[in-house]
Structure 1
Amino acid sequence: MYNLYIMQSTQALVRTQIYLTQTQQKRLAAVCRRSAVTKSELIRRAVDQFLDQQAPADAANKAQRLSGIVGMWAQRDDVADPAAYVRALRAPRF
């Protein structure tokens, strides 16, 4: 039965397991009954909706995000010499 459903899909499906809380499981089951859609389909739709809301990772977007962190440690006096700071962090391990 499930093989037939998966094989009739317009796109190749990849099996994925997730853990849901009992509350999430009950709420999802209720929505499935109301909408006559499988849990898998509802989860795929939710994943698509989430991914559609994410900002594109183009070069301009990355540059804009990086420019926002320029100088964020400028007022710190404990990192005046970055190389010495890194050596001190690594000293206990090496």
Structure 2
Amino acid sequence: MSSYYAAIPPQVYEVTWQSGHVERVIAHQVISGSSRVRVAALGDNSFATSSEDTRLTFHAEVDGQWVLQLSALETDIRTIRNITNGEQTPGGAS
């Protein structure tokens, strides 16, 4: 059985918690059950609904196994940045 993600490198995410603690999470996938996160990604959260117990989950394929890397309440996280390629400037040259 071949690994779907064998040729796909994982992404590196910098998670800043509400407490100010910063950590890095390596994952192939980030999932949110919240419409607030999806709408906020578009720059407008005026139509979003809030849920106190919405979780964000980060998954990665490790040694051919799909592994939960992190599961956290959305309200516990201040920011998430994809830092796989270092600091990125929107619209900048690649």
Shorter-chain TM-score range: under 0.3
Relative contact order (alpha carbons < 8 A, sep ≥ 6): 1 or 2 greater?
2
TM-score calculated relative to the size of structure 1: 0.20
Q: Which has the larger radius of gyration?
A: 1
- Bigger helix fraction: 1
